[in-house]
């Protein structure tokens, strides 16, 4: 059995809040309990929102909270670079494999086309399922670069994607119902989150992914990518979401206090972390 390798994968699109801190702290504890390696990967592919200052601050804030990693952008390691915007050639390789396996297609439809093709008006809260009637008839195997267009993964409609979560037990999502053909490449020249994260978790030999429960459906999408790439998936541990004082999910865009603010207010990191041990 391969050695346990965990990762924390923050996105520097704002200052991290306690919900991020808690997920990463759990990832660290799970790696530490197994006497194994933890790496930090900077997931900065959302160029519009990710800033170098947020990337520097996230490392400082996580260290203040007591987190340590064995590999990462600031400490190096055998799988460098640990910054997604520096790993584009790697994502192109994965894109090429997916083209060759005929599981992704070039999609010129705009968001508007997609909305018009849907029978019921789209509810913003629900996943927008890409309408199957907008799929092309064939796959293009001979394309040599993604170009300035979106590419989507064609999901096997009706197939149950099931896995056993290390905290939640059996989880299942149905392709075509819970999610539709999803983006793997963006027309701005970058891979989607789903492609980049699977490419990196494979390349960096991650054995367990610890992430928030809000990503359960993404995990199902990613399992389709692992299968298409003939890679064995890691195990998954989805953490419950941390709610703020108003009972709302913490998010960078909401008013949730950042780790940085809590530090400035004089909080003690050991006290912030103490209640989390019960979640392990």
**Positions that interact with ligand GLU (CB under 6 A):** 9-11, 43, 197, 209, 211, 215
Q: How far is the CB of 265 from ligand GLU (least distance, A)?
A: 24
Nearer CB in complex with ligand GLU: 198/262: 198
CA angle, 163 then 214 then 15, to 5°: 135
Burial class (CB in 10 A: 0-12, 13-18, 19+), 195: buried
**261, 17 contact by CB (below 8 A):** no
Nearer CB in complex with ligand GLU: 85/143: 85
**219, 159 contact by CB (below 8 A):** no
C-beta neighbour count of 254 within 10 angstroms: 11
Nearer CB in complex with ligand GLU: 6/99: 6
Q: How far is the CB of 50 from ligand GLU (least distance, A)?
A: 10
Nearer CB in complex with ligand GLU: 99/198: 198
d(CA 96, CA 180): 21
Q: How far is the CB of 236 from ligand GLU (least distance, A)?
A: 9
Look at residue 83 and give its three-state secondary structure.
Answer: strand
Q: How far is the CB of 45 from ligand GLU (least distance, A)?
A: 9
| Element counts in the chain: helices (H) and strands (E) | 8, 9
Q: How far is the CB of 222 from ligand GLU (least distance, A)?
A: 8
Look at residue 106 and give its three-state secondary structure.
Answer: strand
Q: How far is the CB of 29 from ligand GLU (least distance, A)?
A: 16
Nearer CB in complex with ligand GLU: 41/152: 41
Which regions of the chain does DSSP assign to beta strands (E)?
5-8, 37-40, 104-107, 150-153, 160-165, 169-174, 182-185, 208-212, 235-239
Q: How far is the CB of 207 from ligand GLU (least distance, A)?
A: 14
Nearer CB in complex with ligand GLU: 40/107: 40
Beta strands 160-165 and 169-174: pairing type? antiparallel
End-to-end alpha carbon distance in the chain: 23
Candidates 212, 210, 218, 277; CA nearest to 242 is 212
Q: How far is the CB of 234 from ligand GLU (least distance, A)?
A: 11
Nearer CB in complex with ligand GLU: 104/216: 216
Nearer CB in complex with ligand GLU: 43/181: 43
- Residue length of the chain: 280
């Amino acid at each position: 059995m391969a050695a346990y390798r965990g990762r924390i994968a923050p996105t520097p699109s704002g200052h991290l809040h306690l919900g991020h801190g808690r997920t990463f702290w759990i990832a660290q504890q799970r790696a530490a309990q197994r006497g194994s390696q933890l790496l930090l990967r900077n997931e900065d592919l959302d160029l519009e929102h990710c800033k170098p200052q947020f990337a520097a601050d996230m490392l400082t804030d996580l260290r203040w909270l007591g987190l340590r990693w064995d590999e990462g952008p600031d400490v190096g390691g055998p799988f460098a670079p640990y910054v997604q915007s520096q790993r584009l050639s790697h994502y192109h390789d994965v894109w090429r494999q997916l083209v060759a396996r005929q599981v992704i297609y070039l999609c010129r439809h705009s968001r508007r086309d997609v909305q018009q093709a849907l029978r019921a008006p789209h509810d913003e809260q629900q996943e927008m399922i890409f309408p199957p009637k907008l799929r092309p008839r064939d796959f293009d195997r001979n394309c040599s670069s993604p170009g300035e267009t979106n590419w989507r993964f064609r999901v096997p409609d009706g197939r149950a994607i099931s896995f056993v979560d290390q905290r939640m037990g059996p989880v299942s999502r149905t392709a075509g119902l819970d999610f539709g053909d999803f983006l793997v490449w963006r027309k701005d020249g970058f891979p989607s989150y789903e492609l980049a994260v699977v490419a990196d978790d494979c390349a960096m030999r991650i054995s367990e992914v610890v992430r928030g429960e809000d990503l359960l459906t993404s995990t199902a999408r990613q399992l389709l990518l692992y299968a298409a790439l003939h890679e064995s998936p890691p195990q998954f541990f989805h953490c419950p979401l941390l709610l703020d004082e108003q009972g709302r999910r913490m998010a960078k865009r909401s008013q949730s206090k950042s780790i940085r603010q809590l530090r400035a207010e004089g909080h003690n990191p050991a006290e912030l972390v103490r209640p989390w041990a019960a979640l392990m």
